[in-house]
Structure 1
């Protein structure tokens, strides 16, 4: 699931809109509104698959985790769950047969959900969702991550069963935003950094975290590192449309959240999220300039045209591939955003990911698209890793953070899913050590047995 709010369920979603063809109107049940606001459909629906039938591949540092079938099918889904079993799976990550779910299903955030909201979700999935009797691809992680019982120890260390409690010193609006951000909408699961064991670093809430190829930025109230310099209206516009003038454009996982969930929330809910974020504890993560303040319009079209491609490879790629939409000076058009004063050009990882994977989100029935230019793109195969590095460096130097530099190896890393988590790296190094230790112990045992036999003879 993804998520987005709580007991204020009747205030969640606009009457218009929907997800994957699920139109919401005035007659929509509270549970359906919660499920759309929670964006359950995004993670539990495979590309081209039936809603909630599972099979969506979720990339993780430990390997690919496939989402489960959460339709009311009694053979392949959750049709046999009682309301108590459903609540335990959602809030504690444990299925009726005792199987522990991986925290790619953000039960650590859902644990804060109220009993009323969990109950409404259960009623929706059991009585309104069409059952799909189809099993999904089984998650099969490498050792030792395939040992699901290890989640017992992880949960003991990092999982709290504490439900959301409003802060009496905060306004109703801020408390509502708190519930949305940290419980049902689980913004915290992406925007909070992770520790060595891949648990949320609660000492730096919402201070930014890696999502593999993408990076979820700092959304605390810090004016430099976070979104403290944004107005409430700008935050609301971004949440609803994925676009904020002279600030940011949603791509990757955030674009999915906007398309399937956030655009369908009522204005009061989006304002509550903004109110909460703007009063959070500011956390500076080392930046000296706000992400949206970098860059300016370029005059390179006038000075570099006619030059040799090898002299300015990044500009030549930009001129031939990007300028038609983003304009030669980078200021963009009504349909395509400016490349300066744009948070996407303040970080190399998100810039590379946008070029490699493209950008897609649909808002109010209108698709916002940028094609994928990576070497794995299905329809283009036009830019290799070095070319993407060259154009990234050009864009960074003219329109973004010029202090950054991109190499072909950086592009390859983004294509392969981003930086490897230290825990995953250590696990791969540990496996040969374990195997070697077992072999050595076996050899020593054989030597001892052989020696004893010779002594007996």
Structure 2
């Protein structure tokens, strides 16, 4: 009797295993897939931070990635699009291949071309793996927002997009980043981030007649040599000691990217402040060091700046200048009578300050007009805007006073120059 029961138990166990084992096998296979998906989203989120997607695709007061931020072009404003996984207005219907085509070629799912305000000439360098991770994050890690996209402010025929096909043909250099075996892994990581995800060249590389970047990597002339954009000067960030940041140490570059503040050298404002708030301050130290090391190594490109913008000079306050009283009444309470700021650097020194030592007063005027606002997660650096308190003439006089008193040189700043910059939104500028 016991043998018979044992026999039937074995048969039943066998049947049970035949039925259950395939199910168990499929479940055990699915679990790593879920874990892999979570890992992909985690990596994709980090890459979205490194790419600073939220800064352009989120309007003031809007939900993350829902679009609507105005981007000025010569013919009028275009608006960033909804890139949440909403299936009506976002990218919820995009396949991975659709997503890849947007990033690599600037072509939407409907076949229309994007304006190169979207930095796809940089994102084309992203690897397939990173694009897949970004896709996983945007599809599964971002909240869908049912918000319509805004149309450009300009009218037909300027809204026709077929000329953008010609732009791609002429100027887009397609292809993922090619690892350079004669360079260190850290150098390659820095190059990949600077050229690709962080799209530094979008602001810091000069543009040609077609508004294309004149160079896309360190092998091409003019890469990161500085450019005017949105009424500001995106400074030369090559290794040139006078025109660029060659006089900075690697640690100072890391500190600037991480905090937006290097006492006696520079403080971030405008879009660079946003990039630090939303992107660089949230990146890991290894990547920031890789970026800094790469910037220190690339070819130096000189320009009319014959001495470092952050050169230390003796203060020479001239009380006879019209801007002296404007400075005392509006600036000295934070920055000090002699322009020394505070010892901890929270209120920046005017001495050795890159915007005051620059050959162009645009950035200085923009800071006075629009203020500065950097929140790196640890410290919040803030300067109020003076566009409402000071007239064009007062701002011009103040700028001249700051440059001559604390910058060691002189510039002619006119009220007309200030008036032209008043129209620049603080969202459209780069320090």
TM range, smaller chain: 0.7 to 0.9
Aligned to 2:424: 417
Report SS of the residue matched to 1:292.
coil
Q: Which moved more, 1:52-61 or 1:86-95?
A: 52-61
Show CA shifts across 1:422-452 (max 9, x none).
xxxxxxxxxxxxxxxxxxxxxxxxxxxxxxx
CA shift at 1:319, angstroms? Answer: 0.5
Matched, 1:58 2:67: no
Matched, 1:221 2:266: no
Contact preservation (8 Å) 1:298, 1:330: no
Matches within 5 A, 1:7-406: 29-141=42-154, 145-202=158-215, 203-293=221-311, 295-300=313-318, 304=319, 312-333=321-342, 334=344, 335-345=346-356, 346=358, 347-374=360-387, 381-400=388-407, 402-406=409-413
Contact preservation (8 Å) 1:72, 1:130: yes
Report SS of the residue matched to 1:65.
strand
Aligned pair count reads: 379
Show CA shifts across 1:400-438 (max 9, x none).
2523211001101112339xxxxxxxxxxxxxxxxxxxx
1: CA distance between counterparts of 2:407 and 2:154? 38
Contact preservation (8 Å) 2:369, 2:386: yes
Show CA shifts across 1:77-102 (max 9, x none).
00011110011112211111111111
Structure whose alpha-carbon radius of gyration is higher: 2
C-alpha change, 1:27 and 1:162, in structure 2 (3 Å) is: closer
1: CA distance between counterparts of 2:268 and 2:144? 33
CA shift at 1:31, angstroms? Answer: 1.2
2: CA distance between counterparts of 1:277 and 1:103? 24
CA shift at 1:145, angstroms? Answer: 4.0
CA shift at 1:294, angstroms? Answer: 5.5
Contact preservation (8 Å) 1:393, 1:406: yes
Report SS of the residue matched to 2:286.
helix
Give 5+ residue unaligned stretches, structure 1: 1-24, 305-310, 375-380, 419-457
CA shift at 1:350, angstroms? Answer: 0.3
CA shift at 1:388, angstroms? Answer: 0.6
1: CA distance between counterparts of 2:352 and 2:117? 33
C-alpha change, 1:287 and 1:355, in structure 2 (3 Å) is: same
2: CA distance between counterparts of 1:53 and 1:64? 17
CA shift at 1:137, angstroms? Answer: 1.9
Paired residue for 2:415, among 390, 401, 408? 408
C-alpha change, 1:135 and 1:236, in structure 2 (3 Å) is: same
Q: Which moved more, 1:140-149 or 1:53-62?
A: 140-149
2: CA distance between counterparts of 1:189 and 1:261? 15
CA shift at 1:143, angstroms? Answer: 6.1
1: CA distance between counterparts of 2:350 and 2:104? 41
